[in-house]
Amino acid sequence: MDRSKLIKWLKEPMKMSNKYSLHVVYFCTGCGIIEIPPSITARWDAERFGVKPVATPRQANLFLITGYVSLKTLKPIIRTYEQMPEPKYTVSLGSCPIDGGMYWDSYNTINHLDKYIPVDGYIAGCMPRPEAIFAGVTHLWTMIDKGMADGYVKYRENYEQYRSNQEEIYADLGWPPLFGVSNQDEQ
Amino acid sequence: MNNKITELIESSFRDVDVELIEEDRVRVNVKQESLLTLLNFLKENRYSHLALISCVDRIEENFFELIYIVSPYMQQDESYTEREKVNVILKTKLPRENAQIGTAIEIFGAAEPYERELHEMFGIEFIGHPRLTPLFLEREYDIPPLRKDFDTRAYVEEKFGSIPPVED
């Protein structure tokens, strides 16, 4: 271990262990999934960065959304995000989740992902190469260090807005609100 | 062999327009009424594989063009070789208003998902189809979205542009 980081480890053990063991759930919505097999296997080896794919969202703390988000895939994205334990970070790959990309005038592709779930970082490109994914991951480390990757806190705080946006897309979302019910019990 | 299927169709059906467009491809323009009869006829003549049903919206001429592609499996008959295989492309016209056609499920079972898709994307009614329920789309559209008069930009402005960004 790097000795200069020892003080950091002792001061903020939670933060340090979070950022060096990013367990990822990949949401393979679009073309971005083609970049994932090379980045997690021997050629680029994502485990150098502590990035490791896991089986279920309940074990993950990083959510990679790889590619365009259609109306049909937004629902599982919200479900997956809500199942992840906190602290959780979302990073989206490619141009499409930012503002629609080349599908900006499609009848079936939502244009701005951050209207429905909080997104901590974007890796631009169409598609980004594995190096760009690792640049994004190391940037996420600095953001976690500085406390800027607080999308899950925002989701909790502005849940009503997110929920109303989600219900604007789906008339019948199919599950009760994540927050709000339990908060009333606490009060 | 290439002319074999052409001759066969021409000799059996009167009001069809058959053309050999490539070495292994025959295009048949057929009227809506005799389409299912022709599909049935082709199936009896070793064309046992329905590869595709597709649709083109010819909005200027005010009709839908339905395209059925059928191809034979050559292994069933040793007198043919794979090189001699000829695909048949059936084209038929449907009016854009109140587009209706009989289902091909009884002839080719594989027609079912294609017909559901075309019903969803173009609003074509397949008479006799057991379940024309939504297949791909998540929400209802006023005009089926792959028709040419569906204005995607106005739709995107109205539906997705109206959703406000989340502010702290």
Contacts of A151 in chain B (CB under 8 A): none
Strands annotated E in B12-120: 17-22, 25-29, 49-58, 63-71, 87-95, 100-102
Q: Domain B3-160, what architecture?
A: 2-Layer Sandwich (3.30)
Contacts of A118 in chain B (CB under 8 A): 166
Which letter does DSSP use for residue B164 in this model? P
Q: Residue B116: pLDDT band by 50, 70, 90 thresholds?
A: very high
Global confidence as pTM: 0.83
Question: Between A71, A112, A157, which is nearest B138 by CB?
Answer: A71
CA distance B119 to B129: 10
**Which H helix or E strand runs over A52?**
strand A52-53
Interface contact A79, partner B, CB < 8 A: no
Contacts of B164 in chain A (CB under 8 A): 115, 161, 165
Locate the domains of chain A by residue range.
3-169
Interface contact A106, partner B, CB < 8 A: yes
**Do residue B138 and residue A115 have CB atoms under 8 angstroms apart?**
no
Interface contact A167, partner B, CB < 8 A: no
Locate the domains of chain B by residue range.
3-160
CA distance B90 to A28: 37
pLDDT for residue A72:
87
Question: Between A75, A106, A168, which is nearest B163 by CB?
Answer: A168
The two three-digit tokens of residue A107, written as one number: 């009848």
pLDDT tens for each residue of B60-97? 999 999 999 998 876 656 666 666 778 899 999 999 88
- Name residues whose C-beta falls within 8 Å of residue A57's C-beta, 6 or more positions apart in sequence: A25, A63, A80, A81, A83, A84
Fold for A3-169, please state it: Rossmann fold (3.40.50)
Q: Residue A90: pLDDT band by 50, 70, 90 thresholds?
A: very high
Contacts of A156 in chain B (CB under 8 A): none
Q: How far is B153 from chain A (nearest CA, A)?
A: 5
Contacts of A115 in chain B (CB under 8 A): 163-166
Name the nearest CA neighbour of A120 among A130, A101, A146, A129: A146
**Do residue B164 and residue A115 have CB atoms under 8 angstroms apart?**
yes
Interface contact B142, partner A, CB < 8 A: no
Between chain A and chain B, the number of residue pairs with CB atoms below 8 A apart is 56
pLDDT for residue A31:
82
Q: How far is B154 from chain A (nearest CA, A)?
A: 9
With a cut of 80, say whether residue A180 has pLDDT above it: no
pLDDT tens for each residue of A105-160? 888 888 888 899 999 999 988 888 889 999 999 999 999 988 888 889 999 999 99
**Do residue B163 and residue A114 have CB atoms under 8 angstroms apart?**
no
